[in-house]
Structure 1
């Protein structure tokens, strides 16, 4: 039975979400504050964290940053902020998905399943994957090029590992939004282009003539490397 850490200060919301998660077969640990969440994240080692941004002590963003210093546990953020910039910021600091209030408890359970499935997909790969000059560590969530550690964001790491799982497959932008960013947002699929551009700047010798991530014009992207192993 997987353990979910539910961080929510509103008692009624916490009770409802906990009930739905338990019905879906999860063991739920509850935290009402950011400090309590950090303590439980270390002690319990949950399979997934549901993290409300508005907490009475530490903000959810600060909690997320602190957890990301030592853990890659999937984090699903809950917030009343619906702006595009808020979504981007939450994902960039390390969240795996972003759910805007109000939402249905059934949708939350589905999102939890999805982020845990994606995390499982990454773990199913060999711990160390070599692709050309790149070395990708699944356990460390790090990418090195010719032994030099690259400064990549969580989204850039998820983008590369998503492509690595299916080398040669062409992914549409919409598919990559779902796999990498973890949510659907009308008109937002082009944000993948920005992530690809930024990742190419870090992994390619010549970003304008990429070797690893190829553009399939009018559709999306694919990983192209016969050296993957």
Structure 2
């Protein structure tokens, strides 16, 4: 993370919202870089190298999802959508493009700050293919293809491990149904979420003390799944 004050790029065309976000973030020891348009935001992202981006979808010069796509072409910086668009399809599209989180306007200051802290914390976790990911009592050795829970080895099928591996490589990030289906089963199966539900249920049965409690694999209804953000990389 850059310096003592994390740098937050705020891409928001509404001057009142932009001012509110600037005052709120500044009062909580964040350095704010404001931008009114998508193009200005992308330009500042390349020159200033912020630690996170707060992005509105309804920009005057381009849709916010285009900004996500442009940023994701070269950066893994955390992107939090702050938008009045609350339709499920809008959220899914933003997550599919690479957004890390979605906060719907109007929002509570406490919720926004908590989500920003989580995004900055998760961005420190750079998970490579040769790492071991730990989530509480769950340990995933990505190289040895070995999974243990409370030091007991868990037998997983190749597809179960492939699904868990994708979740582990993006620990803490919400992955959409479409993304998971594409990565594990291929393009021909992206619309068939039944496979995904079955394998998630099987993983929970093998990994969770209480499969109904979502200790490790968390469900965001209608959108996707994430491996709990408390993952530690060794």
Work out which of the residue numbers 1, 6, 12 in structure 1 matches 2:10.
6
Q: How does 1:59-138 map to 2 (within 5 A)?
A: 59-120=63-124, 122-123=125-126, 128-129=130-131, 131-132=142-143
Q: Secondary structure at the match of 2:53?
A: strand
**Residues in 1 aligned to 2:144 and 2:183: alpha-carbon distance in whole angstroms:** 14
Aligned position for 1:201: 185
* Partner of residue 169 from structure 2, selected from 142, 158, 161: 161
The reply on whether 1:216 has 2:227 as its aligned counterpart is no
In the TM superposition, what is the alpha-carbon distance from 1:87 to its structure 2 partner?
Answer: 1.2
Distance 1:133 1:214 in 2: 21
C-alpha deviations, 1:182-202, integer Å up to 9, x for none? Answer: 9xxxxxxxx66x765554436
TM-score normalised by structure 2 residue count: 0.62
- Give the alignment's Cα RMSD to 1 decimal: 3.5
Aligned to 1:21: 25
Distance 1:195 1:16, change over 3 A: same
Query: What is the count of residue pairs matched by the alignment?
Result: 172
- Say which is worse superposed, 35-44 or 111-120, in terms of deviation: 111-120
TM-score, length basis structure 1 = 0.63
Question: In the alignment, does 2:192 pair up with 1:181?
Answer: no
Q: Is the 8 A contact 1:20 1:106 kept in 2?
A: no
> Using the alignment, how far apart are the partners of 1:32 and 1:51 within structure 2?
10
Kindly provide the CA deviation profile for residues 32-91 of structure 1, in whole angstroms up to 9, marking residues without a partner as x: 001100100000000000000011102111011000000000000122121222111111
Q: Which runs of 5+ in 2 are unaligned?
A: 132-140, 146-164, 187-194, 206-210, 218-226, 228-232
Matched residues in 1 for 2:56 and 2:180: separation? 29
Give 1:46's aligned residue: 50
In structure 2, the CA distance between the partners of 1:126 and 1:16, relative to structure 1 (3 Å rule), is same
